[in-house]
Structures are given as C-alpha cells and as structure tokens.
C-alpha cells in the first residue's frame, strides 16, 4: 500500500489559520493580525479568535504561517550617505545589508535610504517617500532634529515602530536605541587621555558636529568633564565647535585656537572626524599633542598607525546596523520583547591592536 505523505509544518499552519478564520467568520489576514498581535482588529473579534485558538490548542509556527500567507514585512533604514566626511556610515550600512541577507528568506526586507547629512531637503524628501510607501518599521539615524521629530510623530500616529541607530533623541516613543553609551564613552576617553597629562596641562575638546549630533556630543563632553572633576584634576579644558567638515575650514579654526592656546598638550575629538584634526596636527608638526577620537575608519586608522592619533574609541558600528534591523524583526515577526536600550561595547583601539579589531 502506498504511504500517504504527511503534511509539512507550513501546510499544517496554513490549514490551522484557515480553520480559525472559518470558525470566526473572518479573513485569514485578520487571524494573522491577531496571531502576531497587530492592531486593526476590534476587541470583540480579537477575543473571539483567541478563544478559538485556545479551543483548537493551536500553536502557530510563525515563520511557516508567514511564508504560507505570502506576507512580506518591509523595514526602512534612514542613515547618512557614505562620503569622505562620513566614512563611519559604511559599517552600519554593511550591518543592515547583513541582516537583510539573513532574514529576507523569511519575508522581511530591509531597504536603506541614504540622505545627504548636509542637506535638510534630502532628509525631508526621504522621510516623505517612506511615509507614503507604508513601511512596517523604521530604523533612523536621527538628523535634522525638527524634521526627525515630525517623521517620528507620523510613525507614532500610524503605529509604526521605530528604532534609533547610533544616535538618540530624548523623550520619544522609540522601540529601542542601538548605539554607544555616550556619557560613559566620554568618561573613558578622559581616563585614557589623563594618563598622558600633568595636573596643569591644557586640553582642547573639538566638536565637529552638525545640528543632529549636538545631543550626543553634549553627553560625551559631559562624561569627559565628569572624569576630570571627579578626580580633581586641574587641567584647563577649552572647547571649540566647528560646523564645517572640510579640512580647510577645520584647519582655519584650529590655527586660530593654537595661536591663543599654544600650550595645548592634548586634543579630544568627539566623533569620527578625528582624522581631520590629526591631519592638521601632522601638517603643522605638532607631534607632541596627544589625540583621542572615535571610530574605525580608514583615515583614522592611517593616523593611528603613524602615531598622530593615540587612541580610537569604537562601538562596533557594523553590529549596530545589524542589531537595529534584527530588533524590528524580533518585535514585528517573532512577537518578542525588545529592550528599550541596547548599548554597544566601548572598545579601545591602539596602534598595536587595530589589525585585530572587527568593526
């Protein structure tokens, strides 16, 4: 006698969903929304479907049921484009692509949208496009604060979960934040730099930052100053804010600062633009100045190797992009809880160990 083949898990789950829909007199899509705890179903209908699920002792295989229903979950990732001034973003972009490759087989797509970090209209156009395209979840590297808040208000109104990547905006209803613990990171930077200084040394803190970065860099600087205050180190700290990233502009500002503060013995750059500062110090033959900054980019590594930069602090940038996408996957598809904050490690990179670091 020919053996009758047993139905696979996908067929079982599809037939189960059909049976529930039939008994509840609703569509398969409505049952799917209840199973995955989505909005758009009345409390009465939801209770009825849940009762039938309980009666049937139905334990859905989430992946199988999604595949059987042909459902696609679309995630939009809004991050700065990769340029000479924003090399950092190549790593998070690679992380997003890695996540997309891993979960696309389950019907989840991650679409990166890259904006010009110097062009407000570029960001606004992308935000408008995404809101009109009905994405299920959004990953955002916050930029242009007011425009970002408008986008997030729209996400909240439409019940679209969103994740902050690398940067945070306070008092928002984001699903989670994936990125550095900025205050502690600044504190660590001060600890490292203090080992190169005397109690009477003069320090320079350089913020090469746009509007979008101001909140994060303020946390970094607060952590940095906290260390010197806590240990009662009498170092004089001067701060300069530069809003232009081109080398010529940065060099002009730094020339002016060193003209009036020639005794500066150390420079702390609060972001990945440390290579621009290192280039100025190298060209002006100020090899005695200790330098610490952020991020594992090719230019930063070049100046780390030649000794101009003493330390780089890194936060596993590629993994940030990967985890941001996976957190939405876990929440939207698997129905799992996601922590409100996921802080990345504070890694210290030197000339001696940089070849072994995985960003």
- The CATH number that applies at residue 42 is 1.10.260.40
Residue 76 · residue 133 · CB < 8 Å:
yes
Length of the chain (residues) = 359
| Residues 158 and 216 grouped into a single domain | no
Q: Which of 40, 69, 98 is the last residue of a domain?
A: 69
Q: Would you state the pLDDT for residue 4?
A: 42
Number of domains in the chain: 3
| Residues 173 and 322 grouped into a single domain | yes
Give average pLDDT by consecutive 10-residue segment, the chain, 359 residues: 44 65 88 77 88 72 57 93 91 97 90 94 96 95 92 95 94 96 97 91 89 73 96 93 91 96 96 96 96 97 97 98 96 88 97 94
308 found inside a domain: yes
| Residues 40 and 125 grouped into a single domain | no
Cα 245 from Cα 248, distance rounded (Å): 9
What domain range includes position 40?
A: 9-69
Residue 325: closest CA among 52, 121, 101: 101
For residue 245, give the H/E element and its range: none
83 found inside a domain: yes
| Residues 152 and 228 grouped into a single domain | no
SS3 131: helix
| Residues 192 and 306 grouped into a single domain | yes
Tokens of residue 271, six digits: 């972001």
Q: Would you state the pLDDT for residue 6?
A: 45
| Residues 175 and 192 grouped into a single domain | no
154 found inside a domain: yes
| Residues 129 and 24 grouped into a single domain | no
Q: Would you state the pLDDT for residue 109?
A: 95
256 found inside a domain: yes
| Residues 339 and 194 grouped into a single domain | no
59 found inside a domain: yes
Q: Domain holding 307: CATH number? A: 3.40.50.2300
352 found inside a domain: no
Tokens of residue 99, six digits: 């996540």
| Residues 275 and 340 grouped into a single domain | no
23 found inside a domain: yes
| Residues 90 and 144 grouped into a single domain | yes
Bridging pattern class, strands 311-314 and 202-208: unpaired
The pTM for the full model equals: 0.81
99 found inside a domain: yes
| Residues 143 and 247 grouped into a single domain | no
| Residues 161 and 193 grouped into a single domain | no
DSSP annotation of 141 reads -
Cα 131 from Cα 3, distance rounded (Å): 52
């Amino acid at each position: 006698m020919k053996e009758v083949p047993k139905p696979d898990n996908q067929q079982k789950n599809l037939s189960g969903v059909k049976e529930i829909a039939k008994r509840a007199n609703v569509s398969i899509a409505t049952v799917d929304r209840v199973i995955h705890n989505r909005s758009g179903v009345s409390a009465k209908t939801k209770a009825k479907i849940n009762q039938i699920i309980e009666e049937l002792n139905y334990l859905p295989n989430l992946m199988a049921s999604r595949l059987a229903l042909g459902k696609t979950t679309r995630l939009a990732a809004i991050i700065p484009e990769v340029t000479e001034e924003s090399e950092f973003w190549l790593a998070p972009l690679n992380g997003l692509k890695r996540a997309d490759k891993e979960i696309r087989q389950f019907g989840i797509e991650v679409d990166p949208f890259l904006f010009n970090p110097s062009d407000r209209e570029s960001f606004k156009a992308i935000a408008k496009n995404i809101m009109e395209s009905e994405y299920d979840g959004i990953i955002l590297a916050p930029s242009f604060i007011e425009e970002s808040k408008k986008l997030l208000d729209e996400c909240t109104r439409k019940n679209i979960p969103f994740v902050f990547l690398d940067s945070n905006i306070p008092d928002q209803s984001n699903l989670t934040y994936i990125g550095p613990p900025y205050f502690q990171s600044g504190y660590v930077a001060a600890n490292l730099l203090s080992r190169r200084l005397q109690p009477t040394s003069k320090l320079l803190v350089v913020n090469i930052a746009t509007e979008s970065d101001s909140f994060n860099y303020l946390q970094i600087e607060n952590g940095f100053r906290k260390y010197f205050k806590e240990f009662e180190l009498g170092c004089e700290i001067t701060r300069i804010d530069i809003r232009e990233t081109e080398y010529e502009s940065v060099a002009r500002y730094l020339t002016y600062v060193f003209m009036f503060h020639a005794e500066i013995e150390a420079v702390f750059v609060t972001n990945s633009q440390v290579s621009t500062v290192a280039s100025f110090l190298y060209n002006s033959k100020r090899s005695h100045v200790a330098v610490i900054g952020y991020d594992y980019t090719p230019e930063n590594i070049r100046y780390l190797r030649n000794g101009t930069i003493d330390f780089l602090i890194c936060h596993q940038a590629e993994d940030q992009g990967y985890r941001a996408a996976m957190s939405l996957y876990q929440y939207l598809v698997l129905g799992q809880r996601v922590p409100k904050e996921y802080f990345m490690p504070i890694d210290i990179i030197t000339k001696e160990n940089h070849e072994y670091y995985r960003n």
